[in-house]
Amino acid sequence: MPALRPLFLGLALLLTAGAAGLVAWSWLRASDGGQGALERLEVHSDVPDFAFVERSGRRISRADLMGMVWIANFIYTRCTETCPLQSARLAQLQAEFAGEPDLRLVSVTVDPDHDTPAVLSGYAERYRADPVRWLFLTGDKRAIYQLAREGFRLGVVDPDDHAQEERRLGWLTPTPALATHGSKGLIMHSPRLVLVDRQARIRAYHRPDDKPSLDRLRENLKILLRQSRGG
C-alpha cells in the first residue's frame, strides 16, 4: 500500500485541479471548433463589471476601460512558466502599437496575496511597461478568480484550493509540496491573451506561444482600433 500512495496522490491532484477549472476549459475546447476558431473576431461575451487596484494605487474598473481596445491576460510575478512569455509578448505589442492611444494592456495577477501593488510595480519595470497604457491589477482573490473563470472563461487553479480537498479526502490529497509542481507555488492558469473591444466585449482568444496566432492577434487588433468608439 505505501508504494501505491504516490500514485494515489498524483491522481488526486489531477482530479481536484481539473474539477476547479472544468467549466472554463470545457467552454474553450467546445468553442474551438476548428484551428483558429477562437482567434476569429466574434462577440463571445461581455466582460462583467470589476474593480481592482492598479500598481499605482488607482482603482480601475470596467468603466475605466470603456471606449478602449484592450488585451487582457492573467499572470503572477513568481510564475516561471507561461507568464514571462505572456509579458514579453505584451511588451512587444506595446512597442509595436506605441502610436495607438486607445490601446490598453491589462495584466491581472492570480496571486494577489503576494502580488501587492509594490510587487507588481517591480515586475512591470522588468518589461518597461508604460504606466498609462499597460495596467497591472490586484485585488480580492475570490473576485479575481471569478472574473477569470466566469467572466473571461479561462481556467485557473490555485494549490491553496487543495487544503479544502485534503480535509475532505484525507491522505489521498497531495501535500502542499506536491501541489506546487516545483514552481514557487505554481498556480495553473490559462496563458491565452484575450482581445476586448471598445464596448468591453470579448472578441478573440490568442496564444502567446504560437506565431500564427500572434499574427492574427495583430490583425484583429488593427481592425478593432480602426472602429469608432460607437461602432
* 91-142 residue pLDDT tens: 999 999 999 999 999 999 999 999 999 999 999 999 999 999 999 999 999 9
Instruction: Report domain extents, the chain.
Output: 2-226
Cα separation, 115 vs 113, whole angstroms: 6
Residues whose CB falls within 8 Å of the CB of residue 133, separated by 6 or more in sequence, listed in order:
94, 103, 104, 105
Of 212, 176, 228, 182, the residue nearest 40 (C-alpha) = 212
Q: How confident is the model at residue 164 (pLDDT cuts 50, 70, 90)?
A: very low
Cell 505505501, residue located: 2
Q: Tell which wins on pLDDT, 17 or 231.
A: 231
Contact 195, 224 (CB under 8 A): yes
Is residue 63 exposed (0-12), middle (13-18) or buried (19+ Cβ within 10 Å)? exposed
Residue 202 pLDDT greater than 90, yes or no: yes
C-alpha cell at 91: 511588451
Residue 20 pLDDT greater than 60, yes or no: no
Q: What is the mean pLDDT of residues 63-87?
A: 96
Answer CATH for 2-226 from 3.60.10.10, 1.10.10.10, 3.90.1150.10, 3.40.30.10: 3.40.30.10
Bridge partners, residue 109, by sequence: 75
Q: What is the mean pLDDT of residues 41-66?
A: 97
Cell 510587487, residue located: 119
Cα separation, 222 vs 113, whole angstroms: 36
What are the two backbone dihedrals, phi and then psi, of residue 135, each rounded to the nearest 5 degrees?
A: -100, 140
Cell 495607438, residue located: 100
Report which residue type is found at 66: M
Cα separation, 85 vs 99, whole angstroms: 23
The DSSP call for residue 49 is P
The dihedral sign for the CA sequence 30, 31, 33, 36: negative
pLDDT at 90: 98
Window from 40-44, 76-80, 82-86, 166-170 with minimum mean pLDDT: 166-170
Angle made by CA atoms 93, 154, 133, in degrees to the nearest 5: 30
